[in-house]
Amino acid sequence: MTATRILVTGGAGFIGSHHVRTLLGPNGPPDVSVTVLDDLTYAGNPANLDDVRHTDRFAFVQGDICDPDLADALLAEHDQVVHFAAESHVDRSISGAAAFVRTNVQGTQTLLDAALRHRPKRFVHVSSDEVYGSIRHGSWPETDPLRPNSPYSASKAASDLIALAYHRTHGLDVRVTRCSNTYGSHQFPEKLVPLFITRLLEGRPVPLYGDGHNVRDWIHVDDHVRGIELVRTLGRPGEVYNVGAGNELSNRELTGLLLTACGADWDMVRFIEDRKGHDRRYSVDFTKIRTELGFMTAKDMSSGLAETVDWYRTHRSWWEPLLRRSEKGRELPMRVLS
């Protein structure tokens, strides 16, 4: 059987590396080979791929998705693309949006142009629930208009719409996933879950934005990857699939769970000035992927969080140098309110 050659962009990052380990792991499809294209920005970590490095079905290319020649050469040699590579942290997009527009918008368009020349069988674009904006009540179906608020979500919305445009205009087999907030192992310690866990494990206080009542639907990374795999293998061209877990928690509630899991209490929490333009609530309606593709989450929040805390507890050598480097010169730059 000829292997399906899959190009995974951003495969050295958090979710991308879980996807690669799933594809090449013992329960992955037997007939795939994987090339990771990743520029190893601050968020990309080659160690995330150590488990698969030995297999002859794996290759790694360090490079920029904005490089048209590299994109062209790689698309010529692959049957499918799963596109994770992005600048992914909202706070960083507030202090500087240029890298977000370049990588997320121009990088996606560069890959799609190369795809146009080589016509891969599938192009899965990994988007985000943040593209919908903020919702007070109810949940967004895939048909809702995109009303992104942060520079990050605006750049993701632009790339999501460009990807769909290449399907409608050029007939490329593009499929889009819009998943909710994802947690799990191997996540760079700057977003809420890994930042709070690593700080609490070091006995340091954690910064909670505003009143802490912002709500997100939290999904374990294995479930996010399962959703992407269903879309890659069984989804329909030109379709968007929301991926969610129905685990809506305010940041306060999530903080409470993390404090308990790390054996700490509320004395360790510092309420800080809110993030600019902080979206109040995200909630995706993921009926479509459930009914059409049979998606179900497998990890409940309490065991998923316990496993995640355990991973950070036992992998200090993975995150301690990253934390030191990311904090250099920007130790809690926020104004503490209490």
What is the x/- site pattern for ligand NAD, positions 189-208, by CB under 6 A?
A: --------------------
Q: Which of 20, 49, 75, 85 binds ligand NAD (CB under 6 A)?
A: 85
* Alpha carbon distance 16, 83 (integer Å): 8
Residue 66 lies near ligand NAD (rule: CB under 6 A):
yes
Q: Which of 182, 247, 297, 308 binds ligand NAD (CB under 6 A)?
A: 182
Which stretch, 49-57, 60-68, 201-209, 307-315, contacts ligand NAD (CB under 6 A)?
Answer: 60-68
Residue 149 lies near ligand NAD (rule: CB under 6 A):
no
- Tell me the residue number closest to ligand NAD, measured at CB: 13
302: how many CB neighbours lie within 10 A of its CB?
A: 11
Tell me the H-state helices in 68-215: 68-76, 90-95, 98-100, 108-118, 151-170, 192-201
* Alpha carbon distance 206, 195 (integer Å): 8
Residues 6+ apart with CB under 8 A from 283: 129, 135, 138, 139, 140, 215, 217, 244, 248
Q: Which of 8, 22, 23, 44 binds ligand NAD (CB under 6 A)?
A: 44
Residue 179 lies near ligand NAD (rule: CB under 6 A):
yes
Q: Please return the burial class of 123, using the count of CB atoms within 10 Å of its CB with bins 0-12, 13-18 and 19+.
A: buried
CB-based contact 284:217 (threshold 8 Å): yes
CB-based contact 151:97 (threshold 8 Å): yes
List, by residue number, the catalytic residues.
Answer: 129-130, 152
Residue 304 lies near ligand NAD (rule: CB under 6 A):
no
Residue 151 lies near ligand NAD (rule: CB under 6 A):
no
Which stretch, 64-72, 114-122, 228-236, 304-312, contacts ligand NAD (CB under 6 A)?
Answer: 64-72
Nearer to ligand NAD, 66 or 200 (CB): 66
* Alpha carbon distance 111, 107 (integer Å): 6
Phi-psi map region of 123: left, alpha, beta (phi>0 left; psi -120 to 50 alpha): beta
Residue 181 lies near ligand NAD (rule: CB under 6 A):
yes
Residue 43 lies near ligand NAD (rule: CB under 6 A):
yes
Report the nearest approach of ligand NAD to the CB of residue 132 (Å): 12
* Alpha carbon distance 279, 140 (integer Å): 14
Q: Which residues in this chain contact ligand NAD in the complex, by CB under 6 A?
A: 9-10, 12-16, 38-41, 43-44, 64-66, 84-88, 103, 107, 126, 128, 156, 179, 181-182, 188
